[in-house]
Amino acid sequence: METQTPFERIGGEEKVKALVERFYDLMDLEPRYSALRAVHGSELGQARQKLFWFLCGWLGGPQHYTNRFGHPMLRARHLPFRIGIRERDQWLACMDQAMQETGVEETMRERLRESFFQTADWMRNVGGGSG
Ligand code: HEM
């Protein structure tokens, strides 16, 4: 059990797919994520596909994203978008709700919440400590 990756523990590709689909559905539907939604274009199809590929590898599963695009360079790829505290927090809340609604087990959800925070916080590109 200890050698299982988070990808395996979460339930593999099927589960990661469900998580990503729910994440973008919520972003599209819920007014509380409207600032996050506004950063995105009208079409979320490409974002859905890419986040799914990325998360599989990030969780220790198949490297679909890097096989196609090489190093993710996530911070650089997010520079065209305005990401402050508000956008970061909406991303994290949206992902946490998606994890809850797709039944990610509590210990794993807690652990991923921490990791997502580190990644999302590093993506901020406007505002200082308070922006
Ligand atoms: C902090 C708040 C964040 C905002 C506002 C944000 C916003 C965006 C936007 C607008 C795109 C472009 C979508 C498109 O191509 O249509 C994008 C792409 C992407 N985001 Fe984020 N993002 C955030 C955090 C994150 C985090 C924490 C991760 C990973 C854990 C992530 C992973 C990705 C990936 C893999 C892509 C595709 C990059 C590419 O190859 O073009 N993002 N994001």
pLDDT digit string, tens, across residues 51-108? 999 999 999 999 999 999 999 999 999 999 999 999 999 999 999 999 999 999 999 9
Can you tell me the distance from the alpha carbon of 87 to that of 81, in angstroms, rounded to the nearest whole number?
A: 10
* pTM for the full predicted model: 0.94
Q: Which of 19, 50, 58, 69 to mutate to test the pocket of ligand 1 (most atoms within 8 A of CB)?
A: 50
Name the nearest CA neighbour of 91 among 49, 47, 56: 47
State the chain's mean pLDDT as an integer.
Answer: 95
Q: How far is the CA of 78 from the centre of ligand 1 (A)?
A: 6
Confidence bin at 129 (pLDDT 50/70/90) = low
Confidence bin at 127 (pLDDT 50/70/90) = confident
The domain defined by 6-122 folds into: Globin-like (1.10.490)
Q: What residue type is assigned to position 62 of the chain?
A: P
Copy the structure tokens of residue 24: 């973008």
Higher pLDDT, 1 or 31: 31
What contacts 24+ positions apart, CB below 8 Å, involve 94-101? 94/23, 94/26, 94/27, 94/30, 94/33, 94/36, 95/23, 97/26, 97/30, 98/19, 98/20, 98/22, 98/23, 98/26, 99/19, 101/22, 101/26
Q: How far is the CA of 10 from the centre of ligand 1 (A)?
A: 21
* Percentage of the chain lying above the pLDDT 90 cut: 94
